[in-house]
Structure formats: structure tokens, C-alpha cells
């Protein structure tokens, strides 16, 4: 009986996932295998191949851990420089800051976290660049994206969630209920779940097909008028979504993914 081999796209996706995991810190082959739920031999072959292509380097340690090289950083930098999303979003992040007088952000999904691409807490249009990487399940931007990306949410909730403060929600069922509430009101709320005393709101930015591709919101260390600021975030997210649809060429609809 013939053995059916997985399609080539499967191997590409698996390799990209390995790179995403290594972005959070060095890993050994057994550690990578456990995180990816593959065999140690499979993880070791991936690491060897990535090392040959100079995407990772083996650290001189007894545990034989592997770390990313600057080559992948260059890839991320080139994407940021040439991507239309952060460039088009920057004026809207500045607009949200002007409307609320609060620090405004644009974030996009990054494995089980979200990464900030645009940050505004002063006058003028901010320069897009890679910034803070934060967990998705306990930040407003992350929760706004989880509410609109079902496959990504299922994947994230299949693993244990880390508690960052005493207010962090780590129960998958509770996170699901929060995402339902987020969809109903149109924006996500963060209340000291990632950093004590920090409150935030964020709303999803959508492409032509309605997929949540980013989230725009604000944060403050102190009190927050959730309904008013949430309305501002939702309004600005809608304006940015419209601008993206008008600028970007028409593309076939796709289901939200990781």
C-alpha cells in the first residue's frame, strides 16, 4: 500500500512555525519538538536545515540549543519597510491618539502573541517599526484579533495560557466568552490583565474580505472611559479598514488563519 506524503505546503508551514517559536528564545531539538508536537528527529532535521541556510545558529552549550540569526530579522525589516499596512495605518494611529489623548497602537498577530508595528503618544505621524511583542489572550489588541480569527484562537487555546497578573484570564472557556462579548460590542477591553493598573481598548482592522488583519487601540496606566474610548477605537478601526479596502487591490476572500 502506497504511503501518502504530506503536501509541500505542509513542510513550509511547519518550518515557518519553528521560526516563530525560535523568535521567543533559543530552543533545543526536544524543546522544539514538544512545542510543535512532532518527533525529536523531525525537529532536529528542521534545525539542521535552517542552520545550513544560516537562519539559525547552534549555541555552544551542552543542551545544543538553537537561536535565530540576524538573517530573519532582515526579512522582518524588509517586510515592514515595504508593507502597505503599517504605512497606511500610521496616520490613523496618530488620529486615534489625537482623539483620545492616550497612547495609541497598531498590532498584528505573531504566533501566540501580537506585535506592535505603529506607536503614537506624541504629535505628528509616527514612523512604523517593530516594537513590543505581547501576549494575545490578555491584551486588548490581542483579544480584538482573537475574536475575529477563529483558527488562530483555537490554536492558542489548545495550549496552557500564562498568567501575568492576578487578573489574567487563563481558562479557555472564559477566554471564549470574552471573545463573544468582544464581537458583540465591537471592541476588546483590557483591565490590568497583562500589567497591573494598565487599561486598554482595541478594535479589529479588516481587509476587503472582512478578515481581522490587525487591531488598533489605546492604553493608559489609570482610569479609562471604556465606552467613549471604545467608540473612538471602533470608529478609527472602521476608517482604517475603509482606507485599506480603497487602496489595496481586490483579492479573493480567504478564511482567517493563524
Tens digit of each residue's pLDDT (9 = 90 or more) over 206-228: 998 899 999 999 999 999 999 99
Provide the pLDDT confidence category of residue 3 given band limits of 50, 70 and 90. very low
Assigned CATH class of 83-247: alpha beta
Instruction: Name the more confident of 2 and 90.
Output: 90
Domain boundaries for CATH 3.30.450.40 within the chain = 83-247
pLDDT of amino acid 251: 46
pLDDT bucket at 28, cuts 50 / 70 / 90:
very high
CATH 1.10.10.10 in the chain is located at 8-72
pLDDT in tens, 144-153: 999 999 999 9
At 90, the pLDDT band (50, 70, 90 cuts) reads very high
CB under 8 Å, gap of 24 or more: what pairs does 117-125 form?
117/80, 117/85, 117/86, 117/89, 117/214, 118/86, 118/89, 118/90, 118/93, 119/93, 120/90, 120/93, 120/94, 120/96, 121/97, 122/97, 124/94, 125/90, 125/91, 125/94
Q: What is the pLDDT at residue 7? A: 57
Higher pLDDT, 236 or 4: 236
Class level of CATH domain 8-72: mainly alpha
What pLDDT is stored for residue 77 in this prediction?
67
For the cut 60, the answer to whether the pLDDT of residue 61 exceeds it is: yes
- pLDDT recorded at residue 173: 96
Does residue 124 or residue 185 have the better pLDDT?
A: 185
Mean pLDDT of 79-89: 81
Quickly list DSSP for the chain. Answer: -PPPPPPHHHHHHHHHHHHHHHTTS-B-HHHHHHHHTS-HHHHHHHHHHHHHTTSEEE-SSTT--EEE-HHHHHHHHHHHHH-HHHHHHHHHHHHHHHHHSSEEEEEEEETTEEEEEEEESSSSPPPP----EEESTTSHHHHHHHTT-HHHHHHHHTSPPPPSSTT----HHHHHHHHHHHHHHSSEEEESSSSTTEEEEEEEEE-TT--EEEEEEEEEES---HHHHHHHHHHHHHHHHHHHHHHSPP--------
Label residue 242 by pLDDT band (50, 70, 90): very high
Phi, psi of 129 (to 5 degrees): -165, 160
Amino acid at each position: 500500500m502506497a504511503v501518502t506524503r504530506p503536501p509541500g505546503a505542509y513542510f513550509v508551514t511547519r518550518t515557518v512555525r519553528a521560526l516563530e517559536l525560535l523568535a521567543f528564545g533559543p530552543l533545543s531539538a526536544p524543546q522544539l519538538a514538544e512545542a510543535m508536537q512532532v518527533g525529536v528527529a523531525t525537529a532536529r532535521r528542521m534545525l539542521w536545515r535552517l542552520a545550513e541556510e544560516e537562519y539559525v545558529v547552534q549555541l555552544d552549550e551542552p543542551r545544543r540549543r538553537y537561536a535565530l540569526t540576524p538573517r530573519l530579522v532582515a526579512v522582518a525589516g524588509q517586510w515592514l519597510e515595504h508593507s502597505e499596512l503599517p504605512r497606511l495605518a500610521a496616520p490613523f494611529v496618530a488620529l486615534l491618539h489625537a482623539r483620545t489623548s492616550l497612547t495609541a497602537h497598531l498590532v498584528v498577530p505573531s504566533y501566540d502573541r501580537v506585535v506592535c508595528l505603529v506607536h503614537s503618544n506624541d504629535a505628528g505621524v509616527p514612523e512604523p517599526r517593530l516594537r513590543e511583542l505581547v501576549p494575545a489572550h490578555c491584551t486588548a489588541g490581542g483579544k480584538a484579533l482573537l475574536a475575529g480569527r477563529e483558527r488562530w484562537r483555537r490554536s492558542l487555546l489548545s495550549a496552557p495560557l500564562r498568567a501575568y497578573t492576578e487578573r489574567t484570564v487563563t481558562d479557555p472557556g472564559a477566554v471564549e466568552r470574552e471573545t463573544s462579548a468582544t464581537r458583540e460590542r465591537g471592541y476588546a477591553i483590557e483591565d490590568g490583565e497583562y500589567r497591573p493598573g494598565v487599561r486598554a481598548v482595541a478594535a479589529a482592522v479588516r481587509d476587503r474580505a472582512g478578515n481581522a488583519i490587525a487591531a488598533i487601540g489605546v492604553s493608559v496606566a489609570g482610569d479609562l472611559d471604556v465606552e467613549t474610548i471604545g467608540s473612538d477605537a471602533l470608529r478609527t478601526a472602521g476608517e482604517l479598514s475603509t482606507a485599506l479596502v480603497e487602496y489595496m487591490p481586490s483579492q479573493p476572500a480567504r478564511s482567517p488563519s493563524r
